[in-house]
Amino acid sequence: MTLAFATLLGLIQTYRYVIIFPLAVVEGPFIMTICGFLLRLGFFDFWPLYLILMTGDLAADIVWYGVGYYGGRPFVERYGHYVSITPELIDKTEDAFHRHQNKILFLSKITMGFGFALVVLMTAGLARIPFRKYVIFNALGQLIWTALLMGVGFFFGNLYVTVNEGLRVVSLVAFIAIFLALIYGASRYLRRKDIQNLL
């Protein structure tokens, strides 16, 4: 974990904005939080970073929409179990879509990483939700989600720069552990809930 994180920090420090976009596409929530931390340490300027993170995460959403739209159920039946997506979960989500499209799209974005957003993104394509509506509501949620996760990282970055040198490594490790524990805990909690109860 420590070596991988150090390598990631080295790449970000060397390539800065160039590398942020593909990283945000692959692992948006984690990268947004790390970038908020690095923003406080002076590695980035806010607006370019914020816009690149938003664009990268939205690009990933569009990819998942395309998977649902063009791949549909055959993809879910063959590969869905790798990302905890089952045909039954797709059925529930699709049924909810017909009743609460806008609400589902918005909430799925601001709870990304907590266990059910990915199935919503794919089901939006599978259910043929209009692409323009899909992008608009995801972008609105993205404004909040990106700012929130950057804020979490910025807060821990502020703690990092205020503690003495001897505690910095400890605070950095604690930041990573707390963030991962929160994501894991929230994911387990929401996976136990029916998606309709979340709406």
Domain coverage including residue 122? 2-193
Is the pLDDT assigned to residue 109 strictly greater than 90?
no
Looking at residue 55, its pLDDT comes to 94
Q: Which long-range contacts (CB under 8 A, 24 or more apart) does 56-59 make?
A: 56/20, 56/21, 56/22, 56/23, 56/24, 56/25, 56/28, 56/31, 57/24, 57/25, 57/28, 57/32, 57/112, 57/142, 57/145, 57/146, 58/135, 58/138, 58/139, 58/142, 59/21, 59/24, 59/25
Per-residue tokens: 125: 């394509």
User: pLDDT tens across 130-171, in order?
Assistant: 899 889 988 888 898 899 889 988 987 777 667 655 555 666
Between residues 131 and 103, the one the model is more confident about:
131
Identify whether 43 is part of a domain: yes
Spell out where the chain has E strands.
Answer: none
Identify whether 89 is part of a domain: yes
Identify whether 198 is part of a domain: no
The number of distinct structural domains making up the chain is 1
Identify whether 117 is part of a domain: yes
